[in-house]
Amino acid sequence: MGLLLPFLLRWVGLSCSLCARDNLETSPSSLTRFGSIFEDNWHHSFSHNHINSWSVPRIFLTTVNHNVQSLKPYIAKVNNNVNIVNTNLEAIRDHTVKTVEVSIHAVGQLILAGNNKMAVLDNNLYTVESKIGTFNTGFDTFNSKFGTFKANMAFSFTNLHASLRNDFKVMILGFDGLNKNTELLFQRLEAKVEKRLQALEAKVANRLQTVEENINKMFQSLENRLQRWELEETFSRRMRHK
């Protein structure tokens, strides 16, 4: 656990640095949720959705685009995997950062649609060309008995459609329920790593034992050959003396 916790903390730091690098402003509520990723109140703002699955990542679609209404047609619902938590864009009257909360109920697809064109993100696509731009992703994927999970998620659009310009960013800040299940998950991952290390150690030990046995056999063979040569040499000298 001690080795894996720093990795998780570095993931959080990386996500923060990505936000800072792109000069994206973030609403106080988003910062609070992000800062509380390991605390019990991570789930409180989503309790009204009755989402109990702890493997649900939260996606925050954040835009500083002046024409906020243009964002709405680009958000779609697909296969009951992607649900829009808040699409109350009509209530947004200023030009500050706008946040739309999206929940993914399974490792599935996120579809952003525009002009009757679809940009699809699934487990295999890392760059998706679409009408609204290029969908760039950065995923570190690992597997466990719980299923497939993705950490260090951050992805964004480039070459956006003119209606959106380049003021659009998509961030996955964490997994719903991460604070309650992370330790168990990493304990199982550590156990899996430990098991593989033990198997590797046993394999190396067996190989070393085999090498040692082969060396012993080689020396025994050399010793036997030397003894036989000495006997032959002794017998030859005796025969000459006769």
Q: What is the pLDDT of residue 238?
A: 77
Which pTM value belongs to this model? 0.25
Read out DSSP for 83-147? Answer: EES---GGG--SSS-EEEEEEESSS--EEEEETTEEEEE-SS-SEEEETTEEEE---EEEEETTE
Q: What is the pLDDT of residue 198?
A: 84
Give yes or no for residue 119 having a pLDDT over 80.
no
Sketch the domain layout of the chain as residue ranges.
4-176, 180-242
Tens of pLDDT along 49-101? 333 333 333 333 333 333 333 333 333 333 333 333 333 333 333 333 333 33
Report d(CA 240, CA 65) in Å as an integer.
108
Q: What is the pLDDT of residue 9?
A: 42
Does 231 have pLDDT greater than 60? yes
pLDDT digits (tens, 9 = 90+) for 133-182: 333 333 333 333 333 333 333 333 333 343 433 333 333 333 333 344 54
pLDDT above 80 for 208: yes
Q: Please tell me the total number of residues recorded for the chain in this structure.
A: 242
User: Could you tell me the pLDDT band of residue 200, with boundaries at 50, 70 and 90?
Assistant: confident
d(CA 89, CA 68): 7
Pairwise CA distance, residues 132 & 71, whole Å: 10
Residues 6+ apart with CB under 8 A from 72: 87, 89
pLDDT, tens digit, for every residue of 10-59? 444 434 433 333 323 333 333 223 222 222 222 333 333 333 333 333 33
Q: What letter represents residue 180's amino acid?
A: K
pLDDT band for position 190 (cuts 50, 70, 90)? low
Residue 230: the pLDDT is 86
184 band by pLDDT with thresholds 50, 70 and 90: low
pLDDT greater at residue 68 or residue 228: 228
pLDDT over 80 at 203, yes or no: yes
What the block records as the tokens of 121 is: 């993100």
Q: Which residues contact 115 (CB under 8 A, 6 or more apart)?
A: 131, 132, 161
| Residue 183, pLDDT score | 53
Distance between CA 118 and CA 179 in Å, rounded?
Answer: 34
